[in-house]
Chain A
Amino acid sequence: MENRKVLVVPCSGIGKSLGTVGRVATYKVIEQMRPEKTRTVCLALLTMGDGDALKLVRENPCIAVDGCPSQCSKKNIEASMGKLAHNIIVTDVLRRNRSLKPDGVIELNEQGDKLAEIIARALSEKVDEILREAKCE
């Protein structure tokens, strides 16, 4: 497990701001909060059956970050026989933070960014947990 990283894979849904929330939360984790422990992979590349992308999701624990209950990221990781370790749906987190009103797809509003920050923190803790458990195995 030493060289393995946790793959954080957002759906990047383009129709609503919630897809952008998931995407921004992912970048907060892989670029700022846990850059040494995580990376991402293009979901579209995975859905197209790219060999390198398939290898990545099969050899590393994955966290799916989905904007809506369609759960495109989770479903595509599972269909690729990837190692799905955890999944998060932005709408579930939003339900627990009803005061936040995310808006914007090109650029999130302040509340959307705040929601992305909450999700990123939860994802970072999950990354630590996954790697800790893997070390104990």
Chain B
Amino acid sequence: MTLATGKVGIICCSGEDLPEGTISRVATRLVLEKLRPDQTVTLCLPLFLAGGEDERAFARVFPTIAIDGCSKKCAEAGTKKFSGKPVATILVSEVMKKYPHLKIKSREKLEPQEMELATKVAEEIAKKVDEILCKTTKK
């Protein structure tokens, strides 16, 4: 199977138990809907386990970026285990360290500070998407 050109797969953990999981989810959608709508696609992480070969072929078709809320890195590990190794991983808890003034606590609706952090994470994802596409274009 060959890599699809011009698209990067974004897989986020969506961790339900932690606010970081909601940040990973919102940041992913911001990239898909606003920052890089024509260059990115996504897939539900649990579908890797519940789904069939089509879903599991995802990371063999697209270069992927895993977006994880915490150090357990479920998105990275799940993608690697069921599909293929992600090209990059972005850890929300690591991005948070760069912006200590942004505090997060909501798991449902994000407050302005939390949305600001989600936007910062989304910008890092978009930057990584550009790097990956630049490399694949050069090849």
CB contact between B47 and one of A26, A72, A106 (< 8 Å): that residue: A72
CB contact between B44 and one of A19, A27, A106 (< 8 Å): that residue: A19
Listed stretches B7-15, B93-101, B130-138; interface member: B7-15
Query: Chain A residues near B60 (CB, 8 Å)?
Result: none
Contact check, B42 vs A15: say whether CB atoms are below 8 A apart: yes
Contact check, A15 vs B109: say whether CB atoms are below 8 A apart: no
CB contact between B50 and one of A23, A31, A45, A75 (< 8 Å): that residue: A75
Q: Is B53 an interface residue (CB 8 A)?
A: no
In the assembled complex, the Cα of A12 lies from the Cα of B18 at a distance in Å of 13
Chain A, 13-59, CB within 8 A of any chain B CB: 13-15, 19, 23-24, 26-28, 31, 39-45, 47-48, 50
Contact check, A42 vs B78: say whether CB atoms are below 8 A apart: no
In the assembled complex, the Cα of A11 lies from the Cα of B15 at a distance in Å of 10
In the complex, which residue of chain B has the Cβ closest to the Cβ of A74? B50
In the assembled complex, the Cα of A82 lies from the Cα of B42 at a distance in Å of 28
Interface size bracket, B side: 20 to 34
Q: Is B120 an interface residue (CB 8 A)?
A: no
Contact check, B16 vs A12: say whether CB atoms are below 8 A apart: yes
In the assembled complex, the Cα of A133 lies from the Cα of B118 at a distance in Å of 42
Q: With A42-B15, A72-B49 given, name 5 new contacts (CB 8 A).
A: A10-B16, A11-B46, A45-B15, A73-B46, A106-B29
Which 8 A-B pairs have CB atoms at the shortest separation, nearest pair first? A44-B74, A72-B46, A12-B14, A42-B15, A27-B108, A75-B50, A72-B50, A13-B44
